[in-house]
Structure 1
Amino acid sequence: MKMLIKYNELPIKEKLLFLEALFFVFLAKILLLFLPFKLCVSILSVNKKNYETPELEQLKQIKKAIRRTRWLSFWKNQCIVMSIASRWMLQRRHIHSLLSLGVAFDENKKLKAHAWLRTGEIGIVEKGGNFHELYNF
């Protein structure tokens, strides 16, 4: 109930951005569940030549909208899903981004994977650790 009250207090522009982020987050999760990862990567690797220079405020709003969807994401691999959804949101606005996949070992010597997305020097989905970058597109 508290979340609905917070949502209702948002300005209309932020509400719409949140709904867009939520749509893309769930679409990305469905894509990852039902399609092979190699096909998912090829879908995301669309290159457009007419990129626009993003405004810092616009990037911050997209980042905030994606982060707001976390409380509705009940699955473990949130980073890849949020990175894909963010990528789609940026592509809709003709903003170039770089989605990276990496691995690291935790304190128990267990391998863990992470995905992050950045545009220029701005991290939309943060790298957050000492991950070794294996692949980016």
Structure 2
Amino acid sequence: MSHYHHTQRAPTCLLIYAASAAFLVSAWAMRGLPAGAIGFLIGSILLAVLAAAFHHLTVSDESDRLAVRFGPVPLFHRSVPYDLIVSAEQGRTTLLDGWGIHYSLQGGWVWNLWGFDCVVLQLQKGKLLIGTDDAENLCRFVQERIADRK
């Protein structure tokens, strides 16, 4: 049986770092107003941590489950046992689906870093859309894994 591991990198974090820098500049500009300066400083730190959490999206096989992780700061991760996956197909998210982690208007959870290509996992309860720049290989891998259990 094959193994799957793929990491997608994207400039999403740069946008968040830019917002963090803007908050830091605002904190410095408001240094005469301590409450405002502290608020912007805290916001800057939180945005910097968030940016570090969205540098990349790694999807990997973990023997009995598929793991999806944003990183390198490990704030957001999810794994799905192969036993709970009913089907897998290539799909596309919409502009409204956007990036990040959220519930989609199409139904199901979206985990997406950048772009519109995704793999749609139909689960026993619900749906998971995993954004990736390697949709064809990820889809084929998951289809093979769930076919092996039959």
Q: TM-score, normalised by structure 2?
A: 0.28
- Structure number with the higher strand fraction is 2
Which structure has more relative contact order (CA 8 Å, sep 6+)? It is: 1
Which structure has the bigger radius of gyration?
Answer: 2
